[in-house]
Structure 1
Amino acid sequence: MTTTADSPATTATARPSWVSEERLASWCRWVAREAGGAGTTITATAPYDGQPIADVPVSSADDVAAAITTARGAQAAWALVPHGAKADVMLRFHDLLVERQDEVIDLIQWEMGKARFSAWQEILQVATIARHYSRHGHRYLVDNKVRGAMPGLTKVREVRVPKGVIGMISPWNYPLYLAVGDVIPALLAGNGVVSKADSQTPLTLLWARELMDEAGLPKDLWHIVVGPGSVIGDALIGSPEGGVGVDHICFTGSTGTGRTVGRKAGERLIAASLELGGKNPLIVREDADVAKAAAGCVAAAFANTGQMCIHIERVIVHEGVYDAFKEALVAATTALGLGQTYDYSVEVGSLASPAQLETVSQHVASAVAAGATVLAGGKARPDLGPLMYEPTILEGVTADMPVCLEETFGPVISLYKVTSDNEAVAKANEGSYGLSSSIWSRNTGEAERMAGQVRAGSVNINDGAAAAAGSIEAGMGGMGDSGLGRRHGAEGMRKYTESQTVATQRLVPLGPPASMALDKFVGIGNAQLKLLRKLRVR
């Protein structure tokens, strides 16, 4: 496994040299804290060097309520703005993001520790989302004309109206994509937004909010709140007993927390979209191109240092190609560049926190102690950085080991040998998750048939994870314990709206005329039902 020493930017400190106190103050002014909390701050630790990043103001529950109220006031006017004018704001944001991407890539690396290419992929996703919903979002919200109760006399339209204020709770692993990527369609659908920044990565989101301001978004329409989830999350959702709360909650994170968010949203009778955990399988069929499958597996397993909900953790290989695939996989894994740099010289960066390092270390250590074999990696690399861990391949993992079906969320995969496609599908469907999956085969038709048997929101054929996630015109989300709802595509925008039926009655009202006896009207109605049935109408 190749290793890379710290670049000059990280030798003394991980803080990018261009980040001045003035820039930090400019970003922090976007933290909502009008109603109190003065003087309270949080300070995250940089994964690259273990040093404090920056003091960021903390919002109180009252600050959250004030932000929701202000956003609701701004939303009423924003909802009347034509889609084209809203889209102009998002396209300006797109252009500024592409132009100034090096700044936010630096921030993502400083706050979260990932390799630079993984950080750049967030730019790719957010820019694509901005373009797509700006150019095509109106199609998802167009009025739908349907037949009325009395065809010709009843005109009916189903229309989409904004929900009001959307609450966003996004995680640290993709601090730009998973935060801003959901905000864009919510705003274009006519809503206001209040976003909770993750405490590990608040600067990335605050940077994006400042950029959106420069693009022309009304200042009161999108608010950022910062603080512990137990305070901020509860305040966003609100209470069924009354008080201020959002009209929809969008949460990305762990399954355990997602259950809590969903339950509290249900108590208020507001909708929740939840993208949660995964233990994603990759199937290698007997006819697969072994070299391509191994390369695709490595990309899907170790990108973002394995800290992404859709990354591969379980690799299920037909016995006919198992040995050849294993050899190719180990070779590709050990060839990865591992290190901490602010350039594109390494493929695998740091884990984000001591908690992640502890989980990864425990999963590997407990598996080895119970009889699993390490084929590659298997240890932390403090010589390269405080939270570095080698990309790891395990063999001989059994159901009693936590690494088997519990989400590791790190650079660790386990190999499993199977004798048939049916056994591979059964293995892939083990456990309670169902987020993403992958099938490798030269026979794409057969792989597509198998896809329908795999319990997962996305099935990538001859790709590890990116093909489905990057196809933003199609929905992305999970089954089972992996969540509810979809981001991307039509649902990724419509979920932020309510369906409203507008029915206009012409000439005569529905119901019996005042001069007609009710029993006669019922008789005419019954005759009409029989006639329409005979004519195969509706």
Structure 2
Amino acid sequence: MTTATQPPTAPPIAVTDPATGQVVRKAAAHTPPEVERRVRAAHDAARVLRGTDFATRASWMRESAALLEADAADVARAIVTEMGKPIRQARDEVAKSVRTMRFYAGHAAAFLADTPLEAPERVGARRALTRYQPLGVVLAVMPWNYPIWQVIRFAAPALMAGNAGLLKHAPNVPDSALYLDSLFARGGFPAGAFGALLAGSDVVEGIIADPRIAAVTLTGSEGAGRAVGAAAGRAIKKAVLELGGSDPFVVMPSADVGKAAATALAARMNNNGQSCIAGKRFIVHTDVYDEFAGLFAEKIAALTVGDPFDEATDIGPIATARGRDELAAQVDDAVAHGARVLATAATPADTAGWYYPPTLLEGVGPECRLFREEAFGPVAVLYRARDEQEAVALANGTPYGLSSSVWTSDPEQERRMIDALEAGAVFVNGMSVSYPELPFGGIRNSGYGRELGPAGIREFCNMKTVWIA
């Protein structure tokens, strides 16, 4: 395996509290020999997993879920310390992860059952079917914004399919990575079946090229996706890429405007606004624009920004100083080009933390960075649409295509917009949400492949065609 670019003794990985800007502790990075040991252990475990049945894997997965549920309070506190989301949302993240583990424990066998071909005699066979079998070791390159859930939505289906997993987590969430490193072994999975690599991004290309790695999945930036996708292409290996988005939230005249505005607040501000699937561009028909804008602005201004450990806090800090500065630069650029700030919420004074005020903008034109870039923080942009055609054009007018939301009570308009919106998902009269039951993923610069649902567990399987004379 090629890991020569990593120094023999890599610098430690820091846990920095985004609410204070202070380093809480440092974790030792894995050396190249340790990375090699973990890759070898995963490869050995994949051979063992391939020979186990679904019932055995399900028992291990359910036990792992029970352990995570028992550890929920401690895990939630670690999430808040590492990336700053409000404690209530951190607990929700853990609960969602537990539910997903149990979902795949209960459904994997059915999702991967043999699929017989009807009338096999048409292809000259007594029997013909497709069978799903694991690929081997899957490398996961994961982000910090949902440090447990993002990993579980890959790990639960991958392990239940009989694959082993290696996690290269974001460098600012090492405690989450180390917790997950031990979770599945504690639940009964073979040693090495799931392991974390505390290493820099410079090792990723070499690990993808390693013949013991069968596939790779990444959730992250467009740039990271291009790099990982290129490395997987060179190695001729399966890749699933989820690269974020700038999701439209479209409100038409027949919508329940009050409900749409209340949902818009949750859609944009959940997770401190740092969610790939969040509504980011709010496209409102001119007939209801002023009503929606007034309600939305009022709700944003009333948000409580502060200590993420406080149960009353709605918005905590941005996870990194770089992320906060990038968001500020995007908003400053928009204002410099004539955009108007309709509302902001007060942020804590005299703090070294990486807070940014929840902000609502209008008048953001094509010359602005926010018009074409994803805003990863509590910033919402309003657009006025004259009619349905202009609303659809604005919705589709970015290089992304992860998810979308449309609000209408007109059945024909609903049908037209479901067809017209270019995205991996359309939610009608509700916010975009990921569920273990629903396939999740995007098109265009939002990536390719699917997680979750039946499609998510099949991504890292060989669909083998079987023909029996």
* TM > 0.5 fold call: yes
- What is the match of residue 468 of structure 2? 504
- What is the match of residue 535 of structure 1? none
**Alignment check: 8 A CA contact 1:44 1:200 kept:** yes
1:428 counterpart = 2:395: yes
Q: CA deviation at 1:502?
A: 2.7
Report the Cα distance in structure 1 between the residues aligned to 2:182 and 2:454, rounded to whole angstroms. 28
Q: CA deviation at 1:312?
A: 1.5
Q: CA deviation at 1:66?
A: 3.1
Larger CA deviation: 137-146 vs 393-402: 137-146
- What is the match of residue 284 of structure 2? 317
- The one of 432, 453, 464 equivalent to 1:489 is 453
Q: Give the direction of change, closer, same or farther, for the CA distance of 1:301–1:195 in structure 2 (3 Å limit).
A: same
**Which consecutive residues of structure 2, in runs of 5 or more, have no partner in the other structure?**
1-5
1:389 counterpart = 2:356: yes
- The one of 99, 106, 113 equivalent to 1:142 is 113
- What is the match of residue 303 of structure 1? 270
- What is the match of residue 189 of structure 1? 161
Q: Which one-letter code corresponds to 1:89 in the other structure?
A: W
- What do the CA deviations read for 1:141-164 (whole angstroms, capped 9, x no partner)? 111222546767543232111101
Report the Cα distance in structure 1 between the residues aligned to 2:73 and 2:280, rounded to whole angstroms. 30
1:365 counterpart = 2:332: yes
SS of aligned partner of 1:53? strand
5 Å matches for 1:44-63?
A: 44-63=15-34
Report the Cα distance in structure 2 between the residues aligned to 1:259 and 1:62, rounded to whole angstroms. 28
- What is the match of residue 248 of structure 1? 215
- What is the match of residue 5 of structure 1? none
Q: Which one-letter code corresponds to 1:69 in the other structure?
A: R
Report the Cα distance in structure 2 between the residues aligned to 1:293 and 1:327, rounded to whole angstroms. 12
- The one of 253, 270, 278 equivalent to 1:286 is 253
**Alignment check: 8 A CA contact 2:13 2:174 kept:** no
Q: Which one-letter code corresponds to 1:391 in the other structure?
A: P
Report the Cα distance in structure 2 between the residues aligned to 1:169 and 1:305, rounded to whole angstroms. 22
SS of aligned partner of 1:103? helix
TM-score norm. by structure 2 comes to 0.94
**Alignment check: 8 A CA contact 2:247 2:281 kept:** yes
5 Å matches for 1:57-206?
A: 57-146=28-117, 147-148=119-120, 154-206=126-178
Q: Which one-letter code corresponds to 1:452 in the other structure?
A: D
Report the Cα distance in structure 2 between the residues aligned to 1:211 and 1:254, rounded to whole angstroms. 27
**Alignment check: 8 A CA contact 2:10 2:31 kept:** no
Q: CA deviation at 1:211?
A: 3.0
- What do the CA deviations read for 1:66-96 (whole angstroms, capped 9, x no partner)? 3222211122122111101111111112222
Report the Cα distance in structure 1 between the residues aligned to 2:85 and 2:54, rounded to whole angstroms. 36
Q: Give the direction of change, closer, same or farther, for the CA distance of 1:335–1:380 in structure 2 (3 Å limit).
A: closer
Report the Cα distance in structure 1 between the residues aligned to 2:10 and 2:440, rounded to whole angstroms. 40
Q: Give the direction of change, closer, same or farther, for the CA distance of 1:216–1:454 in structure 2 (3 Å limit).
A: same
Report the Cα distance in structure 2 between the residues aligned to 1:60 and 1:432, rounded to whole angstroms. 39
**Alignment check: 8 A CA contact 2:253 2:287 kept:** yes
Q: Which one-letter code corresponds to 2:133 in the other structure?
A: V
- What do the CA deviations read for 1:122-177 (whole angstroms, capped 9, x no partner)? 12321221111111111111112225467675432321111010101100111001
SS of aligned partner of 2:330? helix
**Alignment check: 8 A CA contact 2:101 2:152 kept:** no
Q: Which one-letter code corresponds to 1:464 in the other structure?
A: M
Percent of residue pairs bearing the same amino acid type? 32
Q: Which one-letter code corresponds to 1:487 in the other structure?
A: E
SS of aligned partner of 2:152? helix
SS of aligned partner of 2:416? helix
- What is the match of residue 182 of structure 2? 210
Report the Cα distance in structure 2 between the residues aligned to 1:62 and 1:491, rounded to whole angstroms. 36
**Alignment check: 8 A CA contact 1:444 1:461 kept:** no
Q: CA deviation at 1:51?
A: 1.3
Structure possessing the higher radius of gyration over alpha carbons: 1
- The one of 311, 316, 323 equivalent to 1:356 is 323
Q: Give the direction of change, closer, same or farther, for the CA distance of 1:448–1:201 in structure 2 (3 Å limit).
A: farther
Q: Which one-letter code corresponds to 2:449 in the other structure?
A: G
Q: Which one-letter code corresponds to 1:168 in the other structure?
A: A
Larger CA deviation: 488-497 vs 381-390: 381-390
SS of aligned partner of 1:338? coil
- The one of 237, 243, 247 equivalent to 1:276 is 243
Q: CA deviation at 1:327?
A: 0.7
- What is the match of residue 3 of structure 2? none
Give the paired residue count: 463
**Alignment check: 8 A CA contact 2:116 2:130 kept:** yes
Q: CA deviation at 1:38?
A: 5.6
Q: CA deviation at 1:250?
A: 0.5
Report the Cα distance in structure 2 between the residues aligned to 1:306 and 1:289, rounded to whole angstroms. 24
SS of aligned partner of 1:481? helix
Q: Which one-letter code corresponds to 1:294 in the other structure?
A: A
Q: Which one-letter code corresponds to 1:408 in the other structure?
A: A
Report the Cα distance in structure 1 between the residues aligned to 2:88 and 2:377, rounded to whole angstroms. 17
SS of aligned partner of 1:458? coil
Q: CA deviation at 1:443?
A: 3.1
Report the Cα distance in structure 1 between the residues aligned to 2:340 and 2:11, rounded to whole angstroms. 48
1:413 counterpart = 2:380: yes
RMSD: 2.0
**Alignment check: 8 A CA contact 2:85 2:308 kept:** no
- What do the CA deviations read for 1:30-77 (whole angstroms, capped 9, x no partner)? xxxxx9946752223210111113221212445334322221112212
**Which consecutive residues of structure 1, in runs of 5 or more, have no partner in the other structure?**
1-34, 506-538
SS of aligned partner of 1:339? coil
Q: Give the direction of change, closer, same or farther, for the CA distance of 1:308–1:255 in structure 2 (3 Å limit).
A: same
Q: Give the direction of change, closer, same or farther, for the CA distance of 1:181–1:151 in structure 2 (3 Å limit).
A: closer
SS of aligned partner of 2:213? coil
5 Å matches for 1:12-51?
A: 37=8, 40-51=11-22
TM-score norm. by structure 1 comes to 0.82
Report the Cα distance in structure 2 between the residues aligned to 1:492 and 1:252, rounded to whole angstroms. 14
Q: Give the direction of change, closer, same or farther, for the CA distance of 1:64–1:244 in structure 2 (3 Å limit).
A: farther
Report the Cα distance in structure 1 between the residues aligned to 2:101 and 2:416, rounded to whole angstroms. 33
Larger CA deviation: 382-391 vs 302-311: 382-391
Report the Cα distance in structure 2 between the residues aligned to 1:268 and 1:62, rounded to whole angstroms. 22
Larger CA deviation: 36-45 vs 436-445: 36-45
